[in-house]
Amino acid sequence: MARFTKIQVCRTVIDTVMVPVFYHKDVETAEQVVKACYEGGVRAFEFTNRGDFAHEVFAELNKWAAQHCPDMVMGVGSVVDPGTAALYMQLGANFVVGPLFNADVAKVCNRRSVPYIPGCATATEIGWAQESGADIVKVFPAGNVGGPSFVKNIKAPMPWLQVMVTGGVEPTEENLTNWMKAGVSAIGMGSKLFPKEVIAAKDWAAISAKCREAMGYIAAARNK
């Protein structure tokens, strides 16, 4: 069962803005990455369903995070079907993210009051997701479907839209500022935040520093 309510999750994602997106088959490595992000100010983390037995890693990681990073809202990503969503919610996922919109996933999540953040690339898909109860919609792959200008233009007729962008996002001042100016509510960031060489070197301090740096750019852009 989710430790946080749907309202708490949505508020945390929107308040924090940056949501790291990460997968690793080794539980200890995943734990250290979550801790590094937590120490860098992150409060919402998306562990992606991208490998064999990923749900078993998430089960251990989520229990560990509840004890060592108590304010971290742990969710699952790369979910494309309702069975997978149900499995992860049973393991305590506080939110479910997908690369696409699936109405059956929305039903399963709504039944448990767990936020579903589906991937959408058109105005029609966004409309379907909203009608199905998605409070936050993920534009994906954001860098390929129009970038910040797409977000700005889609929000013109739908100013109430809460947008998360993933794909084509970098932890640089220019990139993050452009997304924030476009009106995004949240930013999902993966490989650029966790370079392979940094993970291999177990340089957790570097990850914390990169998180603080990126969140600093976001805060500055938000306050302009």
Domain positions in the chain are 6-223
Q: What is the pLDDT of residues 91-141, one digit of tens each?
A: 999 999 999 999 999 999 999 999 999 999 999 999 999 999 999 999 999
* Beta-ladder partners of 18: 187
Q: How far apart are CA 114 and CA 172, in angstroms?
A: 31
In the predicted structure, residue 27 carries a pLDDT above the cut 90: yes
Rounded to 5 degrees, what are φ and ψ at 75? -130, 180
Percent of the chain with pLDDT over 70: 100
Q: What is the mean pLDDT of the chain?
A: 97
CATH topology assigned to domain 6-223: TIM Barrel (3.20.20)
pLDDT at 113: 98
Mean pLDDT computed over 41-70:
98
pLDDT at 141: 95
pLDDT at 137: 98
In the predicted structure, residue 224 carries a pLDDT above the cut 80: no
Percent of the chain with pLDDT over 90: 98
Q: What is the pLDDT of residues 135-184, one digit of tens each?
A: 999 999 999 999 999 999 999 999 999 999 999 899 999 999 999 999 99
Q: Using an 8 Å Cβ cutoff, are 24 and 199 in contact?
A: yes
In the predicted structure, residue 199 carries a pLDDT above the cut 90: yes
Measuring CA to CA, how many Å separate 84 from each of 6, 42, 63, 115? Answer: 19, 25, 19, 15
Say if strands 18-22 and 137-139 run parallel, antiparallel, or are unpaired.
unpaired
Measuring CA to CA, how many Å separate 78 from each of 44, 47, 72, 89? Answer: 16, 9, 19, 14
pLDDT at 215: 96
pLDDT at 223: 83
Model confidence at 36, in pLDDT bands (50, 70, 90)?
Answer: very high
pLDDT at 189: 95
Mean pLDDT computed over 33-47:
98
Helix (H) or strand (E) holding 79: none
